[in-house]
Amino acid sequence: MIDEATLVAELEAKDPRAAVAAAKLADARADVAAARVRPNPTISIEREEPFVGGTGLATNYLRLSVPFDISGRRGRQIEAAQAGVRAVDSDATQAKLELVIQALRVFDDAARARLHVEILTSSRTSLVRAVEIARKRGKAGDASGYEIQRFELELAGHDDDLATAQIDLARARGQLAALTGRTGELDASSTLDLPAAVPTVETLLAKANGRGDLRAARLRGEAANRRAGAAGRGWVPTPTLTAGAMTVDLGDQTATGYVAGVALTIPVFDRGQGDKARADADRQLAIAEARWLERQIPSAVQVAHTTLMARIEQTRRLATGQLDRLDVILVAAETAFREGNASVIELLDAHRAARGVRTRALDLRHQVARDKRELELAVGQRL
């Protein structure tokens, strides 16, 4: 058996999809490392030898050239890459939440299947007791063979329902075990109790403003904006400083000296137009995604919150209005049948009604759990 907290911890530690998110984050961090790299200096050795009257005058050069970025592009590219890391991290946070919610739905389904089996098992005990009453009355001549056979037929149908519920339970347990990487079956310890408290919709809306996918869209827009800013500096030339030494062969003497110079790129053809166009497109996409999420998230939170609160109230009404009276009704029906004041149909109807109400109450609690998961998904965090 596993509880909710342990399931979440094992998923975060063992699920292979966590490694995928980690790899994406590492890839984004590699972009930061790449943006920080400065261009390499170059070293060159050259020899030139003009000839005068058949005599060559050799000149040797040793040059070191170092390019410098004075446009500020590198800083903006680093900032863009860092924003990209934060966006990937935010996406990973949202993806992890969706993974956890998906697993917790399986957890809730397994708990519901177990509780359903418990209800049918308990109902069977009551039904067997009714069959025994019918048999005793039959021996005493107070009940017909039809009544006994009708009870036994009802019991057989109930056993078939129980067998189906046990199959569903085994499947749910197997699915839950597979989520944690275990073999065999694993049971959920939950009893699907109603939430003790639900935050107000205003509180939830404030939390939802930091939802992972919304935060990621905003950060991708920020990253694209900084990349566009870096590309917009493409008109600034890149200077390259050169320094070195030279020697000149003057026949019987060798002259030495230095070399110094500066070179500038001429941004005539490539002024970063392509990079800027790509960054602008990415920024528009990120803005559109953020606007859609900003519009969709509040309504999703409000709908999920309203649904959850209404479902909780519905479940409580059923519990106080019907569940509390079931045992009294069953005892009264059995007593009346035992004393010959009720028919077999009336007693069977009481048993069916009791089982139906208990199953309905379980289904409502299970739906409350699912509604809570929907609200958590809409808000972007566990509640």
Q: What is the mean pLDDT of the chain?
A: 88
> How many C-beta atoms surround the C-beta of residue 77 within 10 A?
22
Q: What percent of the chain has pLDDT over 70?
A: 96
CB 231 within 8 A of CB 272: yes
pLDDT band at 81; cut points 50, 70, 90: very high
Q: How far is CA 319 from CA 74, 97, 121, 253, 326, in A?
A: 66, 32, 20, 111, 10
**Model pLDDT, residue 112:** 95
CA pair distance 301, 286, nearest whole angstrom = 22
Residue for token pair 């966590």: 18
Q: End-to-end CA distance of the chain, in Å?
A: 23
**Model pLDDT, residue 129:** 78
Q: How far is CA 181 from CA 7, 14, 16, 242, in A?
A: 11, 8, 10, 62
Please, is 308 exposed, middle or buried when counting C-beta atoms within 10 Å of its C-beta (0-12, 13-18, 19+)?
A: buried
pLDDT band at 16; cut points 50, 70, 90: confident
* Rounded (to 5) percent helix, strand, coil in the chain: 70, 10, 20
> How many C-beta atoms surround the C-beta of residue 266 within 10 A?
7
CA pair distance 108, 195, nearest whole angstrom = 14
CA pair distance 149, 144, nearest whole angstrom = 9
The least confident of 82-86, 145-149, 275-279, 287-291 is 145-149
Q: How far is CA 221 from CA 26, 45, 87, 303, 308, in A?
A: 20, 46, 9, 28, 34
- Which pair of structure tokens corresponds to residue 43? 């070293």
The least confident of 55-64, 140-149, 197-206, 269-278 is 140-149
pLDDT band at 115; cut points 50, 70, 90: very high
Q: What is the pLDDT of residues 222-256, one digit of tens each?
A: 999 999 999 988 889 999 999 999 998 877 788 89
Q: 4-379 maps to which CATH number?
A: 1.20.1600.10
**Model pLDDT, residue 326:** 74
- Please determine, for residue 104, whether its predicted confidence score (pLDDT) is greater than 90: yes
Q: What is the pLDDT of residues 308-367, one digit of tens each?
A: 999 999 999 888 877 777 777 777 877 777 777 777 777 788 888 888 888 999 999 999
**Model pLDDT, residue 211:** 92
Return the amino acid letter for 112.
R
Closest CA to 62 of 42, 33, 83: 42
The least confident of 6-15, 72-81, 197-206, 357-366 is 6-15
Q: Within its chain, how far is the Cα of 233 from the centroid? A: 38
**Model pLDDT, residue 143:** 56
Q: What is the pLDDT of residues 166-194, one digit of tens each?
A: 999 999 999 999 988 888 899 999 999 99
pLDDT mean over 107-127: 91
**Model pLDDT, residue 332:** 80
Q: What is the pLDDT of residues 123-169, one digit of tens each?
A: 888 878 777 777 766 666 655 566 677 777 888 888 899 999 999 99
Closest CA to 241 of 263, 259, 267, 258: 263
- Please determine, for residue 257, whether its predicted confidence score (pLDDT) is greater than 80: yes
> How many C-beta atoms surround the C-beta of residue 173 within 10 A?
21
